Amino acid sequence: MNIGDLILVSVDDHLIEPPDVFDNHLPAKYLDRAPKLVPGPNGVERWVFQDMEIGSVGLNAVASWPKEEWSLDPVGMAEMRPGCYDVHHRVRDMDAAGILMSMCFPTMGGFSGRAFNDSADKELTGVVISAYNDWHIDEWCGAYPGRFIPLGVLPLWDVDACIAELRRLAAKGVRAVTFPETPYAIGLPSFQSGHWDPLLKVVSELGVVLCLHIGLGIRLLQQAPDSSVDNFIVIAGQISAITASDLLLGPTLRKFPDLRIALSEGGIGWIPFFLDRADRHHNNQVWTGNRDQRLPSEVFKEHVLACFITDPSGLQLRQQIGVDNIAWECDYPHSDSNWPHAAEELHEELWNANATDEEIHKITWQNSCRFFGVDPFATVPREQATVAALRAGAADVDTSEVSRRVWRERFEAAQAAAS
């Protein structure tokens, strides 16, 4: 298959929330207490909400920056590529890379909405979460129907509130919610505890996918006090093995046969060894009391979508993982993303793995669309959905390296012209 013939659906990207997120969706009586994007020193904004301050680090918004400018330092919108926070520019950046559809995780509340869980006034926070979800569905995704897969956030501190918001989201057509991959890492009950069972029951009944994005699980590891950020970045994806172990070796996946889990940004290379080890333990067990005759690898393939950005070794072992269980992601605009050359890198890895055209279509779009229940061609005809076709319509989009300093200069010039 040629690069231009690929169809790309990314099930893990991120958005940087613009300042007007809550303007049109929060009831008037709450507006004065809504999260606000407040400028700080050097023009770097931070969201302020109930004595919490939430900002964006540079590695979360490096699209088009030269690599020597990447860092963990706080970054303001003026220095970002507009596609980070402006949906119109985002779609143009998707076109330029040849990406048909995208699912975008939040930033201000954390990838799983964890930051909201730390708030003091939970009643207010519940209203804020619903308003955030409405903005994400109606304005971000709604601006370009068929180009995004909506992703909901839940009020994690209350199972009943989670269920109520989940039902509301499902009624709006949402088929995915983000959730902590290791809840106990932030002081919440584990999946094994049974605490989340009422929620998981409704998730299963509604056909919603639980997206477990990497990040929080790293807290479970005691790293060396002098370890660098590199340690975190390299090991973070493999923390998904802990999540898989919690779900697979505990009762959760066997208790809910219709539950679907996406291991977002977890990579796939670790999975063959993990499943081999789990199956061996299953066959050797003498003390766990598990009487289910199905192998863990069989249960995994019934429930899990494993997501990767780039994973040449994992693709070589795709049969052991399950070709129907693998999905691709771009991770725009994070430092792990290979935008705008994702199609080229993905094509090379698939080519080196001797993937067939049938396997390629499954990995690049069919598995994702089946898992999340979306029709990729509902608004974009298939012949216009390929990498070549999308790029042809975005030939004027500049995808070259642009310094954060240049972005700031352009941003300030645009503001001056507008005034």
Predicted local distance difference test score (pLDDT) of residue 72: 84
Instruction: Compute the radius of gyration of the chain from its Cα atoms.
Output: 21
Beta bridge partners of 180: 213
Has residue 106 been placed in a domain?
A: yes
Mean per-residue pLDDT, 223-238: 83
Has residue 213 been placed in a domain?
A: no
Distance CA 266, CA 249 (A): 18
Nearest to 304 by CA among 319, 326, 287: 326
Task: Using the predicted structure, report yes or no on whether residue 161 has a pLDDT greater than 90.
Answer: yes
Mean per-residue pLDDT, 204-225: 91
Has residue 240 been placed in a domain?
A: no
Beta bridge partners of 14: 105
Has residue 178 been placed in a domain?
A: yes
Instruction: Tell me the torsion sign for CA atoms 298, 299, 304, 310.
Output: negative
Please state, rounded to an integer, the average pLDDT across all residues of the chain: 94
Has residue 228 been placed in a domain?
A: no
Amino acid of residue 204 = S
Distance CA 161, CA 254 (A): 25
Residue 357's H or E segment, with its range, is: helix 357-361
What is the value of pTM for the model shown? 0.96
Predicted local distance difference test score (pLDDT) of residue 292: 73
Mean per-residue pLDDT, 334-349: 97
Which residues lie closer than 8 Å to 224 by C-beta, 6 or more apart? 231
Task: Using the predicted structure, report yes or no on whether residue 303 has a pLDDT greater than 60.
Answer: yes
Helices (H), 152-291: 159-171, 197-206, 229-236, 240-249, 252-255, 271-284
Mean per-residue pLDDT, 32-44: 87
Predicted local distance difference test score (pLDDT) of residue 40: 80
Predicted local distance difference test score (pLDDT) of residue 5: 98
Higher per-residue confidence, 293 vs 183: 183
Has residue 52 been placed in a domain?
A: yes
CB 168 within 8 A of CB 174: no
Distance CA 233, CA 226 (A): 15
List pLDDT tens digits, range 44-66: 889 999 988 887 777 899 999 99
Q: What is the DSSP string of 102-133?
A: EEEE-STT-TTSHHHHT-S-HHHHHHHHHHHH
Mean per-residue pLDDT, 240-246: 94
Residue 361 tokens, joined: 């279509």
Higher per-residue confidence, 231 vs 166: 166
Which residues lie closer than 8 Å to 271 by C-beta, 6 or more apart? 244, 300, 306, 314, 317, 320, 321
Angle, in degrees to the nearest 10, between helices 296-303 and 240-249: 110
The CB-side HSE value for 115 (13 A sphere, CA atoms) comes to 20
Task: Using the predicted structure, report yes or no on whether residue 289 has a pLDDT greater than 80.
Answer: no
Has residue 110 been placed in a domain?
A: yes
Has residue 19 been placed in a domain?
A: yes
Mean per-residue pLDDT, 172-198: 96
Task: Using the predicted structure, report yes or no on whether residue 287 has a pLDDT greater than 70.
Answer: no
- Sorting pLDDT into bands at 50, 70 and 90, what band is 238? confident
CATH number of the domain encompassing residue 44: 3.20.20.140
Beta bridge partners of 48: 36, 53
Predicted local distance difference test score (pLDDT) of residue 193: 96
Predicted local distance difference test score (pLDDT) of residue 175: 97
For the chain, the domain total comes to 1
- Sorting pLDDT into bands at 50, 70 and 90, what band is 286? low
Task: Using the predicted structure, report yes or no on whether residue 291 has a pLDDT greater than 70.
Answer: no
Predicted local distance difference test score (pLDDT) of residue 4: 98
| % of residues, the chain, pLDDT over 70 | 99
Higher per-residue confidence, 115 vs 10: 10
- Sorting pLDDT into bands at 50, 70 and 90, what band is 372? very high
CB 256 within 8 A of CB 235: no
Residue span of the structural domain in which 78 resides: 3-193+309-418
Predicted local distance difference test score (pLDDT) of residue 55: 74
Please provide the distance, in angstroms rounded to a whole number, between the alpha carbons at the two ends of the chain: 50
Amino acid of residue 293 = Q
Mean per-residue pLDDT, 96-119: 94
CB 33 within 8 A of CB 124: yes
Kindly report the length of the chain: 419
Mean per-residue pLDDT, 236-254: 91
Distance CA 327, CA 341 (A): 18
